[in-house]
Amino acid sequence: MRSKESHVFRLLLVAALTLAVTPLRAASKSELRRSLTFFAGFDGSTSARFANGDPSIYTAKTINHPRVGTPGLPSDGSASIAKDQGRHGDALRFGKKSNEIVFFKAAKNMDYRQSNWSGTVSLWLKLSPDEDLEPGYVDPLQITTREWNDGTFFVDFSKDEKPRHFRLGMFSDYKAWNPTDRKWESFSDSERPMVTVTHPPFRRDRWTHVAFTFENLNTGKDNAIGRFYLDGKLQGELTGRSGRFTWETEKALMMLGIYYTGLVDEFAVFNQALTAKDIEKVRTLKKGIGELLK
């Protein structure tokens, strides 16, 4: 009996070791397509090419009242379709800093789950931060149902540093990550739910791929994971964090170009945390994410 148990144990051990050393394959195009929930390529239109929810783009007059939006781009001309200037085809150009806020509705376009939520967000940016951006915080993308620090994902450029830092923020519910209501200035960099890249690779003459993944949200444990990628390279990760994201999905927005000046293209959302190999595959699609929709 003991020898039988020993033999079974050895077989299980070998199987486990084999799985541990076998590199994960990249997802196939059909697998990526099944996990895609939203894609805006801005080719001749501001509407999303694929959306599980509302495909329309909206503009709000200010970030203080972002949910009171009207269909279309800002009335001040700060954003427009840039023909033939995209990573693939056209792009969305933010030509000047504006108080008006451009957004898509997140309901169904992000597959929000009240338990065990994971996902990936991908987009391309083209700019020179130190030459093109005005002073102050700039968020090329912010996804939230409330405020910037309360159940929110964002990528932003820092306010004062030179060169401008580029950061991923993954803020769970405010009361979950900051239960004692500490002042922001009292948190060390390592305590803040952010990944900071001090020398990001952005340039005016090339596109930069930006992606982040999140997993283990809304599990009831502090085991959330966030990973931040630029041009397919892992820049850092957040582990052991609160993952409580209590969203009112009908109020959740995917806001683009907050105080931003530059180009945006190929904005996509997936309903699973893609692996590094998957992100590299998304990044190197010859015709962009539109390939997945054929």
Residue 26's pLDDT is 79
Q: Which two tokens stand for residue 204?
A: 């005016």
pLDDT digits (tens, 9 = 90+) for 53-81: 999 999 999 888 777 799 999 999 999 99
Q: Is residue 21 assigned to a domain?
A: no
Q: Where are the beta strands (DSSP E) in 127-252?
A: 138-144, 152-157, 166-171, 194-197, 208-217, 224-230, 233-241
Q: Which domain holds residue 210?
A: 26-293
Q: Is residue 83 assigned to a domain?
A: yes
Average pLDDT over all residues of the chain: 91
Q: Which domain CATH number covers 130?
A: 2.60.120.200
- At 8, the pLDDT band (50, 70, 90 cuts) reads very low
Exposure of 9 by Cβ count < 10 A (0-12 exposed, 13-18 middle, 19+ buried)? exposed
Helix (H/G/I), strand (E/B), else coil: 174: helix
Q: Is the pLDDT of residue 160 over 60?
A: yes
Predicted structure pTM score? 0.90
- At 181, the pLDDT band (50, 70, 90 cuts) reads very high
Q: Is residue 34 assigned to a domain?
A: yes
Q: Is residue 13 assigned to a domain?
A: no
